[in-house]
Structure 1
Amino acid sequence: MKNNIWLDGLRSVRRMGETAVVAAKAGIKYAIEKPSNARLMRETFEDLGSTYIKLGQFIASTPSLFPREFVEEFQGCLDQTPKLPFSYIQEVLESEFAGRDLGDIFASIDEIPLASASIAQVHAATLVTGEDVVIKVQKPGVETILYTDLNVLHWSTKLLEKAVPKVKFASLADIVEEIKTRMVREVDFIEEAKNIDDFVNYLNITHNKAATAPKVYHQYSTRRILTMQRLHGVSLTDFEVVKKFTKDPSQVLITAMNTWFGSLMMCESFHADLHAGNLMLLDDGRVGFIDFGIVGQLNPEVWTASIAFMDALQKTDFPLMAENMLKMGMTDQKIDTKILAQDLERLFTGVLSADPQQILSSNPADLNDIMMDMVGVGERHGIRFPRDFALLFKQMLYFDRFMRILAPYTDIYADQRLQMIQTMDPNILLKH
């Protein structure tokens, strides 16, 4: 224990030194090359590694909090990172399962990772009992680096607020606190396991047989290791392959959407990163939901107002859209709904008439453009969008664009199969 504390302290000191060196290099680069503030910040964040890459992704996905130039620049802040040698991963496994022989748990572990991100690396494996699993293993030293970086960030924020009182981000301390809360949760795999269990329980009590999520092997999971059932299928990012696997591709997304909409009211939290890479069409025809590391929480009133907003958008009733924006409680000012409706019409007329093939891409930049335009409209009217509403709206845009590709002649929101509000068994205790 003492050795671990000493090692963590050493890592912390080393990390602060690395941060100081990178910051100094950034200062020199600014003096010589004069890059834009946004570009300099992105490049510096990428040099600083895992915590700052996550922070960059937070900026890229939160147009309601950050200036457009920064949101656009950080679209290039990718989470895919170089793969670590398996020897490092094995060290973490042996540390977490101290006192247990790995051979008593895993019959085999594939040394070549399936994926490698800033915080964790994922390996395929087989349990001694024969089940195919994936092991999500936190990279060595990530948690220490995270806490060190967040403390430095908090300290820097205080200095910035004093040095630049009129800084655009008036509530920097609050933003940093939110980032800290979300990122700390993401490195706690026990928290992610709970998110998966909550979703699986929701599927069970609603008798949903059309969707699934990985079974968590809790006896082989810790804060730094998550062992889950391996789902076999194809990603919904490969639309041509999906069409080969099902006669009705639109039903695949209808199933995914109905399942996700139900989870908004039935689960403690909702999957907040459900891009197509986190949806799978399994070999048996079910839709698989994976990667529950990033979740959001939703006020039921916001969801009700959001449905009304989307319904008004579908009907191109812009005055009604404006009214529902106010019902969401996103402003306490007196708003001229006629002018707001006109602004919304100018924004969404172009969006709705755009070519979906151009709108949808593996990079969510296009969706962020729409969100930023919407935020811009809101700012002109004194409206502030809650972060979870932004996540919610962005997810619905994802679904909408996917459906336009898989079923271009299907009116998604008029489809009778779609159930945005589902009738629940009164015996089921809702979270609210």
Structure 2
Amino acid sequence: MSNTPEKFKRYYKFISFMLKYWNSDLFRQTSSIAINEGLPEDDEEHKFEQTPEELVEDLKQMGPTYIKLGQLLSTRPDLLPDEYLKALANLQDNVSPVPFEEVKEIIEKELGTKISKAFNLFDEKPIASASIGQVHRAELLSGKPVAVKVQRPGIQKKFIEDMDTLQEMTNLAVNHLEKAKTYALDEVFAELRRILINELDYKKEAQNLISLKRNLKDYEHLIIPAPVMDYSSTRVLTMEFVSGKKITSLSPLRQLENDFSELVEELVEAYLQQIINDGFAHADPHPGNIKFTQDNKIALIDLGMVARFTPQLQENLIELLLALSNSNGQRTAHILLKMSQTSEDSQKREFAKTVSDVIMESENSLAKDLQTGKILIQLNRLALTTHIKLPVEINILGKILLNLDQIVAMLDPEFNLRDAIKRNVTEIMRKKMLNELKPENFFSMLIESKNLVEHMPERMNRISEKLANDEFKIKIDAIDEKRVTDGFQKVANRITLGLIIASMIIGASMLMQVPSDFTIFGYPGLAIMFFLLAAAGGIFLSYVIVFRDENLNNKN
């Protein structure tokens, strides 16, 4: 634990920084844009008190944690003016390197051997230097070229101390400032802390590289460097060397000479695959983390920041992306509300109306307009101001799509990202459904159906007992008697159909044990026929529940 003078020094630095920028026009514009208020027209050409270079220098003086915050801000064109984004982008490149002697000491301590014994060649001058670590080019004893990422000495301790200071300040702000509560700064900071702590563990990044490389093995134009596990540790990461330039350095001539539409299509499909099928995605595809190779391939070189999506969330995101790609504002609002947490203060109608307006205004936007990711982040801000709590994954998805927008705009400015999402989501969803029809998933459904039938008598007994004792109560918000009656009829019909389907499955499973000359796929034929009939009934019932009920809801 740090001593008191050091803590006071950190507090002083933080408070001095906040006092300087809190009342500035730059902060006012950032806050206004974040909640979609905008600024007066005469402010468009306003020259802010603090120059972009001054902001960069202030962040450097604050230390590596704040440099990382600046890097995150450099990928947010929805919040800051262009000149500030460009200045903050330099934070990704222009951090002073650690002397080679310190690098050598870390590598030899982590790997347990001399550099000369581990590598044929090791360049003392780094090819990249960032706030957490720096990268050196090297060659293994086998002659294989590699990139070696080495963590800066003492960086973990520094990060944790700064995180503790920010945690205390965030808690103070949330307890005393209404705006801090509105923007849920404590939750934002908790997510930031989790991301940064994970980035400090290079073993986790090595596992992320392995997982992503496996998941995207079918995409021939995408490269994910494989880690060399024997030469990696918590503070040292050795991986395949990928030769190429940052995608931001793509020359206009090369853009004119090449048609990158196929490459862009593959990149978009790969990210959708990560989000809605794998549930594991590269969460920080900003241009600084993307290399463009000489043979027109894209390499994802930094996997310190990843996102994970649960199966239920993946299904919700499929619906959300389809609604966005179809410019269906009403449907988008409905899905977001379904995913969110609401309270008595939640302004659902205002949220739904504004969402519809935002989606309609952005219809037919192209990649050069940088709209798709920006819209999601804007909707997240809108949810906060209307007291609706969206899952943090929505903001992560918005950040992914926002960075993807920038890359797509560089390669093919006329590319329609929404049309691409519509095409690819439909295809990926089809593959996902086929994958879920595997035998292991089928028997999982059988077990669920068995549990349903086993517990049904007990539940029906409870209902009938409450009915007999006049204790059965139903809470209904609406007074439309016909609709309520129709609803009961639907429920009764579906329970009956569900019981029939479950009975067919149980009967079929029993028939599986009875020998029969009539077989299908090597199993007793009658049993398989019952399984198929039950599956058809289940699919039909699911279709009616998902699509017919949804149409009914939309009419109201």
TM-score of the superposition, structure 2-length normalised? 0.61
Q: Which has the larger radius of gyration?
A: 2
Instruction: Return the letter of the residue paired with 1:319.
Output: Q
CA shift, 1:413, in A, is 3.9
Distance (whole Å) between structure 2 residues aligned to residue 267 and residue 198 of structure 1: 10
Listed as ranges, the matches of 1:413-424 within 5 Å are: 413-415=418-420, 418-420=423-425, 421-422=428-429, 423-424=431-432
Listed as ranges, the matches of 1:359-374 within 5 Å are: 359=369, 370-371=375-376, 373-374=378-379
* Conserved? CA contact 1:367–1:394, under 8 Å: no
Distance (whole Å) between structure 2 residues aligned to residue 14 and residue 159 of structure 1: 20
Q: Which residue of 2 aligns with 1:3?
A: none
* Conserved? CA contact 1:269–1:295, under 8 Å: yes
Q: Which residue of 2 aligns with 1:363?
A: none
Distance (whole Å) between structure 2 residues aligned to residue 280 and residue 286 of structure 1: 8
Residues 407 and 128 of structure 1: is their aligned pair in 2 closer, same or farther, counting only changes over 3 Å? same
* Conserved? CA contact 1:12–1:144, under 8 Å: no
Look up the SS of the partner of 1:200 in the other structure: helix
CA shift, 1:293, in A, is 0.6
Q: Which residue of 2 aligns with 1:134?
A: 147
Q: Which residue of 1 aligns with 2:319?
A: 308
| Alignment RMSD | 4.3
CA shift, 1:300, in A, is 3.4
CA shift, 1:88, in A, is 2.8
Distance (whole Å) between structure 2 residues aligned to residue 55 and residue 308 of structure 1: 32
Comparing 417-426 and 115-124, the one that deviates more: 417-426
Look up the SS of the partner of 1:112 in the other structure: coil
Distance (whole Å) between structure 2 residues aligned to residue 150 and residue 401 of structure 1: 30
2:10 is the counterpart of 1:19: yes
Q: Which residue of 2 aligns with 1:181?
A: 194
Gaps of 5+ in 1: 1-8, 361-365
Distance (whole Å) between structure 2 residues aligned to residue 202 and residue 258 of structure 1: 12
Comparing 109-118 and 416-425, the one that deviates more: 416-425
Q: Which residue of 2 aligns with 1:318?
A: 329
Instruction: Return the letter of the residue paired with 1:89.
Output: V
Look up the SS of the partner of 1:82 in the other structure: coil
Distance (whole Å) between structure 2 residues aligned to residue 349 and residue 314 of structure 1: 11
Look up the SS of the partner of 1:118 in the other structure: coil
CA shift, 1:136, in A, is 0.9
CA shift, 1:224, in A, is 0.6
**Structure having the larger proportion of residues in helix:** 2
Listed as ranges, the matches of 1:371-386 within 5 Å are: 371=376, 373-386=378-391
TM-score of the superposition, structure 1-length normalised? 0.76
Distance (whole Å) between structure 1 residues aligned to residue 399 and residue 208 of structure 2: 20
Q: Which residue of 2 aligns with 1:83?
A: 97
Q: Which residue of 1 aligns with 2:63?
A: 49
Listed as ranges, the matches of 1:336-415 within 5 Å are: 340=351, 342-352=353-363, 357=368, 359=369, 370-371=375-376, 373-400=378-405, 402-403=407-408, 406-408=411-413, 410-415=415-420
Look up the SS of the partner of 2:389 in the other structure: coil
* Conserved? CA contact 1:15–1:148, under 8 Å: no
* Conserved? CA contact 1:236–1:242, under 8 Å: no
2:204 aligned to which of 186, 191, 195: 191
Distance (whole Å) between structure 1 residues aligned to residue 174 and residue 413 of structure 2: 49
CA shift, 1:151, in A, is 2.7
CA shift, 1:137, in A, is 0.7
Q: Which residue of 1 aligns with 2:545?
A: none
2:298 is the counterpart of 1:287: yes
CA shift, 1:203, in A, is 3.2
Distance (whole Å) between structure 2 residues aligned to residue 286 and residue 41 of structure 1: 35
Residues 414 and 279 of structure 1: is their aligned pair in 2 closer, same or farther, counting only changes over 3 Å? same
Distance (whole Å) between structure 2 residues aligned to residue 15 and residue 429 of structure 1: 57
Distance (whole Å) between structure 2 residues aligned to residue 429 and residue 203 of structure 1: 24
Does 1 or 2 have the higher relative contact order (CA < 8 Å, sep 6+)?
A: 1
Distance (whole Å) between structure 2 residues aligned to residue 389 and residue 275 of structure 1: 17
Look up the SS of the partner of 1:124 in the other structure: strand
Residues 373 and 18 of structure 1: is their aligned pair in 2 closer, same or farther, counting only changes over 3 Å? same
Distance (whole Å) between structure 2 residues aligned to residue 130 and residue 183 of structure 1: 34
CA shift, 1:401, in A, is 5.5
Distance (whole Å) between structure 1 residues aligned to residue 325 and residue 383 of structure 2: 20
CA shift, 1:305, in A, is 3.1
* Conserved? CA contact 1:243–1:249, under 8 Å: no
* Conserved? CA contact 1:252–1:281, under 8 Å: no
2:99 is the counterpart of 1:108: no
CA shift, 1:397, in A, is 4.0
Distance (whole Å) between structure 1 residues aligned to residue 408 and residue 391 of structure 2: 26
* Conserved? CA contact 2:224–2:300, under 8 Å: yes
- Sequence identity percentage: 23
